[in-house]
Chain A
Amino acid sequence: MPTILYVDDDDNDVLLLKHALRCAKLSYDVQVVNDPENASAYLNGHGAFADRELHPLPDLVLLDLKMPRMHGLEILAWIRRQPHLEDLTVVVLTASNHIPEINRAYELGANSYLIKPVELGELVDIIRGMITYWLRADVVARK
């Protein structure tokens, strides 16, 4: 079962995402960290995330941008600087449709930039499309 690391500080969004995945009839191991530091710890297998059985390296990172203490884009930049994470698919999922931020995200190596919709149905559609694209149909799409 593919693993998705969801980096978001908003519990509601986490619940809704999980709901959306269920609705999309997709069964994935969704690992959630609620801040960027934990994200890097997870990806490095540090601390609480050392056990790769419990916390396997994700196939895809869903990254919120606006989080306490560290901005999502910083984590993105950090990921892209890690040789072993170079090919990791990182999809930005955020509420911000701020153009400079979108541009910046792509510059830093985001694979996709998705905007969190308000409508739950839309979220389901988006997630289904995203998963289909990145995890099922063509894993080498980015390369």
Chain B
Amino acid sequence: MSLSWSPSVLVRSFSRGRNRILPLPSTNERILLLTQREEDASAIHSALAEEPGNICSCPEMRKLCAEIRAGACVALLDAESLAGARLKLLAETLLEQPSWSDLPLIIIADAGDPSGEAWERIGRLVPTGNVSLLERPLDHRSVTGAVRVALRSRRRQYALRDQLLKHERQPAAPRVSKAKPQRARENTPESTNETDFLNAVINSLPGTFYVFDARGQLLRWNEKLEIISGYTAAEVARMHPLDFIAHEDRAHIAERIREVFERGDSSAEADLLCKDGRRIPHFFNGKRFTLGSQTCLIGMGIDIAQQKQTERQLKELHAIAERRVAELDAVIESMPDAVYIGTASGITKCNTNALKMLGAKSVADLNRRIDELGGKFDVRWPDGRRLRPEELQFSRALQGELAIDDVVARKLDTGEDVYIRAASAPIMLHGRIVGAVSINSDLNQRKRAEEALASAKDQLSRHAAELEKRVQERTAKLQQSVQSLEGVLYHVAHDLRAPLRAMQGFTTILLEDYAPKLDKQGEDYAQRVSSAASRMDKLIQDLLAYGRLGHMALSMGTLDLNEEINAARNRLGPEIRARNANVQVERGLPKVWADSVLLGEILVNLMRNAITFVAPGVTPQVRIQAESARPEFIRVWVEDNGIGINPEHHERVFRVFERLRADPVYIGTGIGLAIVRKGTERMGGRAGVESVPGAGSRFWVELPAASKANE
């Protein structure tokens, strides 16, 4: 808001405001009145009783026109008087006015004139045009309002007139002389008036204007003060300047006023307090001057509400900006990576992680030209080649590139090498690169993890190789031990059985050849030794057979089941005959894929089992059948009429050594069924039993069917 006054401002300001100074009598303040209605005249008189100016009533148009020429401020006349020649007379009179003059006319007419007759007449008054309409009924307020407006208009004209006259007299006068030079030559019937000019100037001021004495008596002010404060002229005249100031500002303003009276001038900001309580921020100034014998303060108040608001907005914007910056800082700081921002002339912002990663103490360490920084930092490609300053990701980002690379940076402080992923991007603003931002992630941990992984892999493969080697060694060892186990078995077979043969043989000789020398008990004992030796021999043989199953080499081939079963039956011939057993074999059994020796063992053991465990006095009945089981398999059934097996023992009977238990059912049971199962499994089959105690058992083995493929 400028306080400087320029001529153009002055000229433009002529059209505004009125001044309110202490009422000054003027010959120009005549109000002409022409009306044919008595009630009009009385309403106007009463309305204008309090207003300045003298009312001059004219009985008819001719008189009114004469008075206009003599000089008048405003003319009020009824529309009815504007008829015919009277209207023409008025129009001619108005046309005679000097150039500065545009006499305000107030036409009194009936409200809502249906014919618009009054307006038509008024239209004839063009080109004066300074016409307003006052509608009946005439009330106090509208009359004074209309007259005031008219008076204001007329006073401005007077001011212009005075100026013109003044310039005519003083052509070199500053400020206004250039503005209206041509008007200065015009004649005016009115005398020049310095006061009017002053008033015009005062009213054209861009703020409130005031003059008061040391006691605080307001001597002059402008209309703006009234308009802004809302106080009437009469009220202002009775007020102290501090009354216009907000309470909390009063002491401060009183001090400033004192300063003016003491030192000559001062100024201050304070809220102007309006009548309705509104407060308008103002800038007040004051200057001491002497008016006659009186020392006064003259000054102006400028409305700085706009400025204040702008300031407030600026402050808010600033606060927002600061908050944004703080937020950005917080975001940057909270990022787990090293973040820094800057331009070619240096890094201006970074987070703690960045300081840590780069080994810098503060951002000031980094606020240097990037090419310089690039020289200071030892940053290398993974192959060990050092990055040139222009190769740095940040430098490239400043050139507009989005640069992301894995590099090795040496810390400034500790010299430690850090693997980082450096990612830099240009910061664009309105299409221009204004800087760059870098986000560097620490890859050390990942690198270490990768290294650990690699070494783990390495170790693993070493272990695998070692394991492989160990497996081979173990296998070789195992083979050795299998071989040595076979040796052991051989020894067991040979050495263990030799004493048994002796025991058995000699007790037999005792029983046969020395029977007469033995009593009944001696004979019994010798018998027991003999049978115990036989049993032990059998056990040893079975164990050997069972043990051999595990590692004997198989020679698989297509075998005819009927043939194999017959062979087995023949091997068991003595036992079958001894037990008077009946073994029935189904004819036309399928062929199987098996090892002949193993299959023989299996069949012998199955059959032996079937004929052995029968209740005393029962003739063993054995039936052998076969069927296709699951695909590619033949199931051979060996059914007996034996004592049967409890379901809970169905699995146990196939286990080796189960016979060693004290359960009477198993006494005498060989290792045969274990051989059956193990032998079947070695050939890819399986074995099982279905049995109900007392109702016989149905043992089965599943063997691979002899197919064309494996024939």
Contact = CB atoms under 8 A, between A and B. Distances in A.
Interface of A: 10, 12-13, 15-16, 19, 65-66, 94-99, 101, 116-121, 123
Interface stretch (B344-352, B415-423, B500-508): B500-508
Contacts of A10: 498, 502
Contact of B498 (A95, A98, A117, A120): A95
Given A118-B533, A118-B534, A12 B493 contact: no
A15 to B, nearest CB: 8
Nearest to B509: A19
A36 to B, nearest CB: 15
B422 to A, nearest CB: 74
Interface in B481-518: 486, 489-491, 493-495, 497-502, 504-506, 508-509
Contacts of A119: 504, 508, 534
B508 A95 contact: no
Given A19-B509, A119-B504, A120-B508, A13 B498 contact: yes
A96 B486 CA distance: 12
Contact of B494 (A96, A117, A118): A96
Interface in B534-556: 534, 537, 541, 544, 552
A116 B493 contact: no
Nearest to B541: A97
Given A13-B501, A16-B505, A118-B533, 10 more contacts: A10-B498, A12-B501, A15-B505, A15-B506, A16-B506, A66-B495, A98-B493, A116-B501, A118-B505, A118-B537
Contacts of B495: 66, 95
Contacts of A94: 494
A96 B493 contact: yes
A65 B493 CA distance: 12
Nearest to A65: B494
Nearest to A8: B498
Nearest to B497: A95
Contact of A98 (B490, B508, B537): B490
A134 to B, nearest CB: 22
A118 B495 CA distance: 13
Contact of B505 (A19, A65, A66, A96): A19
Nearest to B504: A118
Interface string B286-319: 0000000000000000000000000000000000
B494 A66 contact: yes
A96 B490 contact: yes
Contacts of B486: 98
Contacts of B537: 118
6 contacts: A12-B505, A15-B506, A66-B494, A96-B493, A116-B498, A120-B505
B27 to A, nearest CB: 162
A16 B494 CA distance: 16
B538 to A, nearest CB: 8
Contact of B493 (A15, A95, A121): A95
B148 to A, nearest CB: 146
Contacts of B504: 118-120
A116 B508 contact: no
Interface of B: 486, 489-491, 493-495, 497-502, 504-506, 508-509, 533-534, 537, 541, 544, 552, 597
A101 B495 CA distance: 16
A120 B597 CA distance: 27
A65 B491 CA distance: 11
A135 B537 CA distance: 30
A53 B490 CA distance: 38
Contacts of B493: 95-98
A67 to B, nearest CB: 10
Contacts of B498: 10, 12-13, 95, 116
A72 to B, nearest CB: 11
Q: In the complex, which of the residues A10, A16, A116, A118 has the most CB atoms of chain B within 10 Å of its own CB atom? A: A118
A99 B597 CA distance: 11
A3 to B, nearest CB: 23
Given A96-B490, A98-B490, A118 B506 contact: no
Nearest to B533: A118
B508 A121 contact: yes
A25 B412 CA distance: 113
Contacts of B502: 10, 12-13, 16
A101 B534 CA distance: 24
A117 B574 CA distance: 15
For the complex of A and B, the 9 pairs showing the least CB-CB separation, nearest first, are: A12-B502, A120-B508, A118-B537, A16-B505, A95-B494, A66-B494, A120-B505, A95-B497, A118-B504
Nearest to A116: B501
A92 to B, nearest CB: 12
Contacts of A12: 498-499, 501-502, 505-506
Contacts of A15: 505-506
A99 B544 CA distance: 12
B104 to A, nearest CB: 149
A10 to B, nearest CB: 5
A119 B505 CA distance: 7
A63 to B, nearest CB: 14
Contacts of B552: 99
B119 to A, nearest CB: 146
B147 to A, nearest CB: 150
A119 B501 CA distance: 7
A116 B497 contact: yes
Contacts of B499: 12
Nearest to A100: B486
A120 B494 contact: no
B509 A120 contact: yes
Nearest to B534: A118
A92 B498 CA distance: 15
Contacts of B533: 118
Contacts of A121: 508
A120 B497 CA distance: 13
Contacts of A117: 501
B176 to A, nearest CB: 145
A10 B500 CA distance: 12
Nearest to B538: A118
A23 to B, nearest CB: 8
Nearest to A117: B501
B501 A95 contact: yes
Nearest to B511: A120
A62 to B, nearest CB: 15
A116 B497 CA distance: 9
Contacts of A101: 490
A35 to B, nearest CB: 15
A101 B504 CA distance: 25
A15 B497 CA distance: 16
A118 B538 CA distance: 9
B548 to A, nearest CB: 8
Nearest to B535: A118
Contacts of B597: 99
Nearest to B500: A118
B111 to A, nearest CB: 146
Nearest to B496: A95
Nearest to B499: A12
A15 B534 CA distance: 19
